[in-house]
Structure 1
Amino acid sequence: MCGIAGIFHVETPKPVDPVRIERMCDAMVHRGPDGSGVWTDQGVGLGHRRLSVIDIEGSPQPMHSVDGRTAIVFNGEIYNFRELRRELEKGGAQFRTSGDTEVILAAWQRWGPSCLEKLHGMFAFAIYDLEKRQLFLARDRFGVKPLFMARLSDGSLAFASELKGLLAHPLLRRKVDPRALDAYLAWGYVPDSHSILAGVQKLPAGHFLLLERGRELRAPSRWWDVDFSDRAKGSEADLSAQLVHLLREAVQSRMVADVPLGAFLSGGVDSSSVVALMSEASADPVRTCSIGFDVPSEDETSYAEQVAAKFGAEHTARTVSQEEFSAIDELAAMFDEPFADASALPTWRVCALAREQVTVALSGDGADEAFAGYRRQVFHHHEERVRSVLPAGFRETVFGGLGQIWPKADWAPRPLRAKATLLALAESGEEGYARGLSVTTSDQRHGLYSEGMARYLSGYKAEDELVTLMRDAPARSGLDRAQYADLKFWMPGDILTKVDRTSMAVSLEAREPLLDHRLVEFAARLPERMRVKGQTGKYLLKKCMERYLPDNILYRPKQGFVTPIAAWFRGPLAGEARAIATSSTLAETGWFDPRALGTLAEAHISGRADNSRVLWQLLMLDKSLTRLNLQS
């Protein structure tokens, strides 16, 4: 895994200072501590930080093609590079290295942008063609690897793997985009369609950008999408056999490395499935690691130990204290943009534990999105049945009315916390799913904004983007649309961002076999009954893994990493919660109503409400703003 950066003068070929590229790369040294390189030519510069995983000695970057016509910087792994190399060699291509980087160069020279369809893996890369004076930027299908871009005042386009790289450029403006701020407060992260800084963009997942000197900037082109509009035919047994085959291929392809390799093991369905298939494919014991908590009700290490023992894994576990709030500043520094998924803390800890043993770790990320494993997807599936039989007017009147008067009972047992469900049923399926996915509603956010901020947004509503994405999805059903939204919106913005930044912070390469695109394309074609059966999500995945895993692993209630932020804000972070309204960087922006923020904090601290998620968002936003050193 690596970090890349570069500068391309779109209009006139101004000189590029190699020191500037070097500084952009050095800001991301954690992504590549094993080596660095910079190359510049007329109007272009490419830089690279390397974490050596494959062809450790033989693939320095930036790398040039054999004929010297093209140069590349690449972040990621191409899992089918050996097969592609053989295909290219039959066509006359020559290679000087044994890694995947040179294969991408040869594939680009053979097929142009169509080469992307042949690449199986996670990647963000830049290729410069010296003859055509073209810069080609590309990002993998799901957005596993990030790529930030900004048009600068000198006419250049700068890009980097992290916002840190762009922040190292002196011409980057540091002014917050208010719409990105609203989106962050809606979702708890800045989605890939926005950046917290105005003028900065993220190349969308499954897109490329082809630039040519002297021509206007083009919009990115989509080269891949997932299609839920078709349905696979076959019996449950046949589809299960196909699924096992695809799972094996996905796991085995991601076990290629010239450095120590292992896996995260939480004891849940997804990571346990990955470890089971790794064990099947390996002659040596699989190295696994897990993090436990000092609160027994939130600790899953016994399940991880059960799976590790079953497959003879070399397992390492560590118990961490729930009192992790002292690391908040360091956590904010990893993400640059505000990021409020509190599970980032334990994810960072398990990555650090893994890095003590291995350089590459396989994870179980992606299965919930692809196979409908989230509780919200199962709820949405059943809510859509209600919407299909009750007219919209009836639902809006009855469910909407009940939802308005139903108390927000955060303290009550789950069956009695019906307010959100009632309000969701009063809306369309897309609006209801956006409500369920969001941290705050538009009304709640506007209740916190200052009058000036509300006027600036002038009707902008972050949820509309997700609603439109779902309505335009290549899909047949509400469940299809929910999964499409999770794969295209939630996963790159939250899950993959979290894993990329926390793993790269400790120089660990994380690989996601359950995001093999062939596996996800198969899952998208499964009949709904093979994804959700009753209250069980990921039905076929669990069914086919019964030959490997016991029922208490497959069918116990889903549990993720838990961070006790509600308790923190009533204890050691109560002062920080109060400061948000009065003395923080956030308070000085003028974006929020101080009285509303103060009321929010005091209601939580006193125990009258659970406002912990919103307070966590505001705290992480404050920490990020401090680091960004904004311009007026």
Structure 2
Amino acid sequence: MCGLAGYIGVDSSHGMALLGRMSRAQVHRGPDGDGTFVQAGLGLTHRRLAVIDRAGGAQPMRSQDGRYVLAYNGEVYNYRELRGELVAAGHTFSSASDTEVVLAAWIEWGEAAFDRFDGMFALAIADTVTGQMTLVRDQFGIKPLYLAEDGAGRVFFSSEIRPILATGLIQARPDDTTVYRYLQFRVHDDTQRTFFAGISRLMPGELAVISPAGRVSRRTYTSLYADLRSLARTPRPYDDAARQRFADALRSSIRSRLVSDVPVGTALSGGLDSSTVAATVSELLAGQDSETSAIGHQQQTFSAVFPGETNDEERYVDAVAASLPSVRVHKIEPSVRDFLVDLPDFVRSQEEPVISTGPYAQYCVMKEASQHVTVMLDGQGADEMMAGYIPYYLVHARQLRRAGRTAATAAELASVSGLLWGLGRTKVADKVLMRTGRTVTDLLSHDFVGRHADERMDIVTDDLKVRLEDDLFRHSLPALLRYEDRNTMRFSLEGRVPFLTTELLRTLWSLDDTAIVHAGRNKRALREATAGLLPSVVNRRRKKIGFTTPEDAWFRKMTGPVLEVFSSASFGSRPYFDQAATQQAFRQFIRGRSTVDTMAFWRLFNLELWMREFIDPVQVDVPIRPALLAAS
């Protein structure tokens, strides 16, 4: 795992100094080495976290004929198989790294190579003959890549946003449309836009070609999305053979993601997805599988727990750990005081606002894990792939109703009535307790809302697989992957996500929807694949929590720090907020009289801290003070 950066259109006399600033801005992404390539008009720099072939694979890597130069962030897990094909085609290799295979694959197959890769990647390939730069991001968007044009023919790109700002040639300005959609709809990372005006992200499965004159041309290179639509139109029955295909594809994916020359651990939240990864790794270890050498004699798992809080999942973590033959469990207990101390670094590390305090739990887990391992596996992506959130049940029911299957609709709704009651319970409580009926819109500036009145958040409501695709590649997963990338790389860790493989997704989409939702249970194929692997209390559970924080309890303890921010001069000067309405609503929330939830208050709070960190020329207000915490 690494960090890359580069440019097109900068005079070579200034290139080395500029690349040095970009490299230093993301040294955390690659503490094991760095390299730079400069040619007239183009440059590349690379920071390396050495995971595979630690002695070889230095970057930027030049092709044997000298024409192409590669800077690459990620892992291609099937590199050994691809290497065999490339050797048969006449290529020779001087290292055992996947980087050299990626470069040779580009030379042999061009952009068709990228759909052959099983893994995660963001890369830049310079053509020293044409002066052209090609940028590519993997099909799921697991690894990030950002770019910015300065309007004068210069284009900058990097794995994070801070290196682009470090050039001194791109000004940090807020993108008000992104800010509005974040505050109003709780969405971000769903388009090319970022919170920084003029800085965009490459989308999942996207390729960009930058000409020597600085013209940027983007297109989708992968056939994955068209393949999924085709498979969904003609699904096969979910039978015993299908069940086995899914189980085999999942096991193969987890196994391949153990390939490493450095220690590997597992994030364990206690949910079905991360527990599946941990249990499969344990089974492979017990069987002395050849790919488990980086695990060591005992698998190490890392969990965030919150004793005494309603969202604590420690009992599920313990149940999984007790079922594994050899495991060392690391439990981390994030506290609200730690949160306030870490908040400046957390905001800085994420680079853009996040939708809740939940990612901080992952931040704490990765901080501890970095003391023991270099690679971390987790269950990210399974929820969006297999309907892991409660609203998906409604989408499935509407799909059945649209198809005229009235009896099936009623049966599905009846089987999840207890879960759906949880969705409506808050509204009932609001009426009983006569809470003030405010929404997040009431806390925003009327002028700001008016300027963005045409913005919409469109979601699919009656087609399960189309909705899941939307959330996989736009509305849900991209943000979670950004959180994970920053939380792992902040501590020089490589995060791997075994559920996010094109083979597994294609296998699932080739089956009818009962492989996903059936008889009131989601993730059917996964539950059946792990029925003999996981404790039933985990395999059968339906209420999902995952890595999150007891946000409601924390906000009540954070009354002082939050009100200090909401009362600050800088908060009042922003064009986004209604300061008086925000203060009043938050005080009503503390008294239990407001319908505005903590996630809404967090968005305002987080945005203000982000503005102070990245946008304001100088720090205007005093830092957050943990001493203002309310007594427990």
TM-score by length of 2: 0.86
Once the 2 structures are TM-superposed, how far is the Cα of residue 29 of structure 1 from its aligned partner? 1.1
Counterpart for residue 537 of structure 1: 522
Q: Deviations along 1:280-316, whole A, 9 cap, x unmatched?
A: 3232432222222222543323332332332323322
Counterpart for residue 198 of structure 1: 197
Count residues with an aligned counterpart: 578
* Aligned-partner residue type, residue 460 of structure 1: D
Determine which of 455, 461, 484 is the counterpart of 2:455: 461
CA contact (8 A) 1:580 1:587 kept: no
Once the 2 structures are TM-superposed, how far is the Cα of residue 119 of structure 1 from its aligned partner? 1.1
* Aligned-partner residue type, residue 19 of structure 1: A
* Aligned-partner residue type, residue 196 of structure 1: F
Question: Does structure 1 residue 286 correspond to structure 2 residue 285?
Answer: no
CA contact (8 A) 1:243 1:519 kept: yes
Question: Does structure 1 residue 615 correspond to structure 2 residue 601?
Answer: yes
Quote the Cα distance in structure 1 between the aligned partners of 2:583 and 2:15: 48
Once the 2 structures are TM-superposed, how far is the Cα of residue 563 of structure 1 from its aligned partner? 1.6
Quote the Cα distance in structure 2 between the aligned partners of 1:251 and 1:507: 22
Counterpart for residue 586 of structure 1: 571
Counterpart for residue 243 of structure 1: 246
Quote the Cα distance in structure 1 between the aligned partners of 2:538 and 2:170: 49
Counterpart for residue 53 of structure 1: 51
Question: Does structure 1 residue 328 correspond to structure 2 residue 343?
Answer: yes
Counterpart for residue 307 of structure 1: 320
Aligned-partner SS, 1:48: strand
Question: Does structure 1 residue 548 correspond to structure 2 residue 521?
Answer: no
CA contact (8 A) 2:42 2:131 kept: no
Q: Which runs of 5+ in 1 are unaligned?
A: 391-411, 421-440, 472-476
TM-score by length of 1: 0.86
Counterpart for residue 311 of structure 2: 298
Once the 2 structures are TM-superposed, how far is the Cα of residue 362 of structure 1 from its aligned partner? 1.0
Quote the Cα distance in structure 2 between the aligned partners of 1:262 and 1:335: 22
CA contact (8 A) 1:580 1:618 kept: no
* Aligned-partner residue type, residue 351 of structure 2: D
Counterpart for residue 518 of structure 1: 503
Distance 1:22 1:116, change over 3 A: same
Counterpart for residue 340 of structure 1: 355
Counterpart for residue 70 of structure 1: 68
595-604 or 527-536, which deviates more? 595-604
* Aligned-partner residue type, residue 536 of structure 1: R
Once the 2 structures are TM-superposed, how far is the Cα of residue 133 of structure 1 from its aligned partner? 1.8
Distance 1:25 1:381, change over 3 A: same
Counterpart for residue 362 of structure 1: 377
Q: Could you say what the CA RMSD is over the residues aligned between the two structures, in angstroms? A: 2.6
Quote the Cα distance in structure 2 between the aligned partners of 1:143 and 1:576: 35
Aligned-partner SS, 2:139: coil
CA contact (8 A) 1:3 1:75 kept: yes
* Aligned-partner residue type, residue 615 of structure 1: F
Once the 2 structures are TM-superposed, how far is the Cα of residue 346 of structure 1 from its aligned partner? 0.9
CA contact (8 A) 1:144 1:492 kept: no
Counterpart for residue 399 of structure 1: none
Aligned-partner SS, 2:298: coil
Counterpart for residue 585 of structure 2: 600
* Aligned-partner residue type, residue 160 of structure 2: E
* Aligned-partner residue type, residue 28 of structure 2: H
Distance 1:330 1:158, change over 3 A: same
* Aligned-partner residue type, residue 156 of structure 2: A
1:26-425 to structure 2, matched below 5 A, reads 26-185=24-183, 186-187=185-186, 189-214=188-213, 216-226=215-225, 227-228=228-229, 229-282=232-285, 283=288, 284-295=297-308, 297-323=310-336, 324-326=338-340, 327-385=342-400, 415-417=424-426
CA contact (8 A) 1:294 1:321 kept: no
Quote the Cα distance in structure 1 between the aligned partners of 2:597 and 2:310: 22
Quote the Cα distance in structure 2 between the aligned partners of 1:536 and 1:135: 47
Counterpart for residue 402 of structure 1: none
Quote the Cα distance in structure 2 between the aligned partners of 1:581 and 1:538: 42
230-239 or 125-134, which deviates more? 230-239
Moved over 6 A (4+): 387-390
Counterpart for residue 6 of structure 1: 6
CA contact (8 A) 2:3 2:159 kept: yes
Quote the Cα distance in structure 2 between the aligned partners of 1:493 and 1:630: 27
CA contact (8 A) 1:66 1:95 kept: no
Q: Which runs of 5+ in 2 are unaligned?
A: 289-296, 406-420, 430-436, 619-632
Counterpart for residue 438 of structure 1: none
